[in-house]
Amino acid sequence: MKKRIFSGAQPTGELHIGNYLGALKNWVALQDEYESFYCIVNLHAITLPQDPHGLRQKTLDLAKIYLAAGVDPAKATIFIQSDVPEHAELTWVLSCIARMGELERMTQFKDKGKGNAERAGVGLFTYPILMAADILLYQTDLVPVGQDQKQHLELSRDLAIRFNRDFGETFKVPEPYIPKAGASIKSLQDPQKKMSKSDENLKGAIFLMDSAETITKKIKSAVTDSGTDITFDESRPAINNLLTIYQLVTGKSGDECIAHFEGKGYGQFKGELAEATVEYLRPFQDRVNHYSDKELAEILKNGADKARAISSATLADVYHKTGIK
């Protein structure tokens, strides 16, 4: 039997190249070897205010992005989180075994709640429990995510272990899959921060649907470090980040990248990086509107049916073990 993968992204804003290189790219690479479930986590999206008119459209657009990135509906299951009510149901049960203390330690809550717990939504606080439910419902072996999700995944593992201990073996304990290169692509404007959809400075992120002209402009205006060498060096985070993007979009080895830019200046490097990024995203951009709305609806319906077949069995087991049913 194939091992199982689960991952998801939020339909909250435009996806950027950090989401692509840190997560989506690996979803595509892993779908042959694993039985894969890729979810559009719209229930996660409302942990921060969303425009109700825009959310449904963004949810469908994100499904198109998964497909355009190369997730193949013949191999992987693509579905919308809210189409599978078991996610919300298991969240409740897991909420009853999760501890305030462990949620308080989640750094994303501190960031997104802007350090103001008094005013932050309760959903933002309990969000990692919904993520644990997503993963544990499918008896998932592996979860491909970027570095920022590592702590949430640890919590999923802890909840699985605790439930199994208290109620008997029920959940598989999932492992993270975090890529060596690309796990945390940084903002082009501030290499101390991760590239983010919600960054106010739009110049910090390369969005997957950006035009060639916009991509080139953003890369040319990216901040650099002092010094002139173009090498991988953590102490020079701006160039380190740009060279990492170059490495991933060209598929060259680290050594090849360094050798290629030896003796060359930032100007030339940025020009080549812009060109390589545009070329990398072109086939993706061409494919975004490949599926009609009708085909998309069909794919999502099939996906939800497949997802429910598995998640309902896990939830029935949980309800049985806890004495609910």
Q: Contacting ligand ATP (CB under 6 A), which of 57, 198, 221, 228?
A: 198
245 Cβ neighbours under 8 A, 6+ residues apart: 17, 21, 185, 273, 277
Residue 185 found at the interface with ligand ATP (CB under 6 A): yes
98: left (phi over 0), alpha (psi -120 to 50) or beta: beta
How far, in Å, are 45, 54, 146, 213, 261 from residue 196 at the CA level?
14, 19, 12, 21, 28
The residue among 16 and 44 lying less far from ligand LTN, judged by its C-beta, is: 44
How far, in Å, are 86, 156, 201 from residue 162 at the CA level?
20, 10, 41
Q: Annotated catalytic, 110? A: no
Q: What would the two tokens of residue 318 be?
A: 């949980």
Of 17-25, 167-175, 206-214, 300-308, the window that binds ligand ATP (rule: CB under 6 A) is 17-25
The residue among 84 and 145 lying less far from ligand LTN, judged by its C-beta, is: 145
Q: Contacting ligand ATP (CB under 6 A), which of 148, 154, 190, 275?
A: 148
Q: Annotated catalytic, 112? A: yes
Shortest separation between residue 87's beta carbon and ligand LTN, angstroms: 9
Q: Are 143 and 177 in contact (CB under 8 A)?
A: yes
Residue 7 found at the interface with ligand LTN (CB under 6 A): yes
Residue 149 found at the interface with ligand ATP (CB under 6 A): yes
Shortest separation between residue 275's beta carbon and ligand LTN, angstroms: 29
Which SS3 state, helix, strand or coil, does residue 226 take? coil
Q: Contacting ligand ATP (CB under 6 A), which of 140, 184, 189, 311?
A: 184
When CB distances are held under 5 to 8 angstroms depending on the partner's kind, the choice from ligand LTN, ligand ATP, none that residue 163 binds is none
Q: Annotated catalytic, 64? A: no
The residue among 18 and 204 lying less far from ligand LTN, judged by its C-beta, is: 18
Distance CA 233, CA 215 (A): 24
Distance CA 61, CA 12 (A): 11
42: phi then psi, degrees, rounded to nearest 5: -75, -25
Number of continuous H segments (helices) and E segments (strands) in the chain: 14, 5
Distance CA 143, CA 127 (A): 17
Looking up tokens 């993520």 gives 131
Q: Contacting ligand LTN (CB under 6 A), which of 45, 145, 222, 248?
A: 145
The residue among 195 and 242 lying less far from ligand ATP, judged by its C-beta, is: 195
Which SS3 state, helix, strand or coil, does residue 216 take? helix
Residue 10 found at the interface with ligand ATP (CB under 6 A): yes
Shortest separation between residue 239's beta carbon and ligand ATP, angstroms: 17
The residue among 81 and 216 lying less far from ligand LTN, judged by its C-beta, is: 81
Query: Interface residues with ligand ATP (CB under 6 A)?
Result: 9-10, 18-19, 22-23, 145-146, 148-149, 183-185, 194-198
Query: Interface residues with ligand LTN (CB under 6 A)?
Result: 6-10, 41, 44, 131, 134-135, 143, 145, 149, 152
Q: Which residues are catalytic?
A: 112, 194, 197
